[in-house]
Amino acid sequence: MIRRLVIFGGTGDLTGRYLLPGLAALHETGRLGADFEVVCADRKGRDDEQFRTWAATQLDQHSPDISGDTRQAILTAARYRQADIQDPAQVAETIAGAGPVAVYLALPPALFPTAVRTLHAAHLPAGSRLVLEKPFGEDLAGAETLNRLLADLVPEQAVFRVDHFLAMTTVQNLLGSRLANRVLESLWNSAHIAEVEIIWDETLTLEDRAGYYDSVGALEDMVQNHLLQLLCLVAMEPPITLSERDLRDRKVDVLRSIRTLTDDDIPRRTRRARYSAGVIGDRHVPSYTDEPGVDPQRRTETFTEVHLTIDNWRWAGTNFLLRTGKALAADRKEVAIHFRPVPHMPFGHHGTTAPNVLRFGLDPENLTLTLSAIGAAVDALVPVTMTAPIHPPDLPAYGRLLLDVLLGNPALSIRGDEAEEAWRVVTPIISAWSRDLIPLDDYPAGSPGPAGTRR
């Protein structure tokens, strides 16, 4: 296990909100040794006291339930260092120490190529690992360039392209349910499944993230990575093992089988929209374009819906709907498997019923199956829903992800070819939208989405 973590972007939002709390969760569950150290580096030039006050505030805010011991242990393990990721001498001093180091780039993606070049010049100790936040590259060409630079720095298995959805227990439950239950596998194909909905509707709005979000939008923020990863877990062939190679080979097969959308497909198969002012619960939400830092000329979408087709034996004929949006009326975060209707109903004309639906609730976690059952009379069918309890996770997603980095298990991070294939899927959409092949619709904050959005 690597005992030293260096975070560039070390006093940013990601570090305070997720990484320090992730480390705290590892300590709380006995997975972080006493000699662990985390160096938080950036250009700001804080003194030790300012840094400690900041780190303590972050822990109090984002890890309110940890013990006093854990809080103290993380504050003791963490130290600050001023370093510019573009300066090889400063970076070399920051990563210097005994043994390999895990370097976490919690930086804007535009800085990744420079950061990788600097780390190369600064000589990473042998056995070190590198963690990159999403989005991986700004487009397909950017991802290819970054992959080439990374290949010169460390072996592929030492690169952790993060997708925190893969570290969520609820997402891993998709794998557990599929692969440990014979009853599902025989139905897991287009003969039985008409549609798979992969939905991440949020009531959250921009939350002061214009600096990042306004340059990516919903498609690149959510679909290119998280939702396509969910699609892979639903649609992949059963892997031989859950080792990084077996699992990632099967996921990349799925990405390669996704049909490339043409300009003719885009108007029928994609939607984009942006929220205007509205009310969510008792919150008044300003229009996206009135948020500080947003450039209305960019026409950034905050909602998108994409219908994809998988061209392989198992899935030809099933629709995969990927949808996500911000500032919507309600949170809905799930993968819903819609089965086809039964081929014949022997109940007469009263016996019509809705097809079965299996739902993997991702947040909050639950698993439900809707079946039809006999109601008051044999021809009066009613839907019944069975709900299975899901064990609560023992670690938050970033805790699990950091543990995998420190232990050196990249199975639940994205391999270079996966990142490139995911860009291949979204690139024609980005291109068509940039040529305004479809309108940018509007929806009021607090509504279910643009007119016609399916509930």
Q: Distance between CA atoms of 392 and 321, rounded to whole angstroms?
A: 27
The closest of 51, 35, 40 to 15, measured between CA atoms, is: 40
Q: Per CB under 6 A, does 204 bind ligand BG6? A: yes
Minimum CB separation of residue 441 from ligand BG6 in Å reads 19
Is 226 part of the annotated catalytic residue set?
Answer: yes
- The runs of H, that is alpha helices, within 127-168 are 140-153
Say whether 251 counts as a known binding-site residue. Answer: no
Complex with ligand BG6: residue 221 or 420, whichever CB lies closer: 221
Q: State the chain's maximal CA–CA distance in angstroms.
A: 80
Among 154, 236, 232, 176, which Cα is nearest to 405's?
154
> Would you say 85 is a known binding-site residue?
yes
Which contiguous run of DSSP H or E holds residue 357?
Answer: strand 357-362
Q: Smaller CB distance to ligand BG6: residue 202 or 301?
A: 202
Query: Which of the residues 419 through 438 are near ligand BG6 (CB under 6 A)?
Result: none
For the bound state, the minimum distance from the C-beta of residue 377 to ligand BG6, rounded and expressed in Å, comes to 45
Does 326 appear as a known binding residue? yes
Shortest distance in whole angstroms from residue 423 CB to ligand BG6: 16
Least distance from C-beta 202 to ligand BG6, angstroms? Answer: 6
Question: Which residue, 221 or 305, has its beta carbon nearer to ligand BG6?
Answer: 221
134 appears as a binding residue in the annotation: yes
Nearest Cα neighbor of 322 from 226, 190, 197 is: 197
What is the C-alpha separation between 104 and 391, in angstroms, rounded?
30
In single-letter form, the type of residue at position 16 comes to G
Q: Which is nearer to ligand BG6, 36 or 360 (CB)?
A: 360
Residue choice 202, 305, 334, 418 for contact with ligand BG6 (CB under 6 A): 202
Which pair of tokens denotes residue 274?
């942006």
Quote the CA–CA distance of 442 and 225 in Å, as a whole number: 24
Residue from 28, 220, 221, 421 in contact with ligand BG6 (CB under 6 A)? 221
- Distance, in Å, from the CA atom of 102 to the CA atom of 406, rounded to the nearest integer, reads 7
Helices and strands (H, E) in the chain, number of each type: 16, 17
Site for ligand BG6 in 97-126 (CB under 6 A): none
Residue nearest to ligand BG6 (CB): 221
Does 43 belong to an annotated binding site? yes
Judge whether 207 is annotated as a binding position: no
Q: Minimum distance from CB of 46 to ligand BG6 (Å)?
A: 26
The catalytically annotated residue of 226, 338, 344, 349 is 226
b/e string for 149-183 if b means 16 or more Cβ within 10 A?
Answer: bbeebbeeebbbbbbbbbbbbbbbbbbeebeeeee
CA distances 173 to 159, 229, 291, 412, Å, are 25, 14, 37, 13
Q: Tell me how far, at minimum, the Cβ of 204 lies from ligand BG6, in Å.
A: 6
Q: Sign (positive/negative) of CA torsion 330, 335, 336, 340?
A: positive
39 or 327: whose CB is closer to ligand BG6? 327
**Cis amide bond preceding 343, omega within 30:** no
Instruction: Point out the annotated binding site.
Output: 43, 84-85, 134, 164, 202, 221, 326
Binding site for NADP(+), residues? Answer: 43, 84-85, 134
What amino acid positions are annotated as catalytic residues? Answer: 226
Q: Write out the residues near ligand BG6 by the rule CB under 6 A.
A: 202, 204, 221
> What are the binding residues for substrate?
164, 202, 221, 326
